[in-house]
Amino acid sequence: MSLKIRLTRGGAKKRPYYRVVIADARAPRDGRFIEKVGTFNPLLPKDSPERFTLVEERVKHWLDAGAQPTDRVLRLLDAAGIKSRPARNNPNKAQPGKKAQERAEARKQAEADAAEAAAAPAEEAPATEEAAAE
């Protein structure tokens, strides 16, 4: 049986409140769970001690038993100092998509063509004026 340490949502509409539970990975998000090991209230300020509560010895027991925390719970456990979360790096995140890059490239090419077209008649215009003056 694959175990997860995850959040189950409670609370009213637009007023979330989460319980940190140990559950079978196949169970529904808010469905059956094995044990409740903490709570998380995202509406409280980040420095509030009641924002995230945890029974540390039970969490450590379940981690030793092979339970895998979800990404959000792993962030909370990292903040609590129970389990470290590896740093992630996505250097391509800030780059626009392929189509946006193609549009930007086409726009630059059009601007370069327009600048060349504007520069070419300006060079020819004085020659025609000199010819007209003679």
Domain ranges of the chain: 3-80, 95-129
Provide the mean pLDDT of the chain: 88
Q: What CATH number does the domain located at 3-80 have?
A: 3.30.1320.10
Q: Label residue 35 exposed, middle or buried (CB < 10 Å: 0-12, 13-18, 19+).
A: middle
Q: Pick from 13, 80, 83: which is nearest to 43 by CA?
A: 13
> Could you give the angle at the alpha carbon of 41 between the alpha carbons of 38 and 43, nearest 5°?
175
For the entire predicted model, the pTM comes to 0.65
31-54 confidence digits (pLDDT tens): 899 999 999 999 999 999 999 999
**Phi, psi for 12 (deg, rounded to 5):** -85, 175
82-102 confidence digits (pLDDT tens): 999 888 888 888 888 899 999
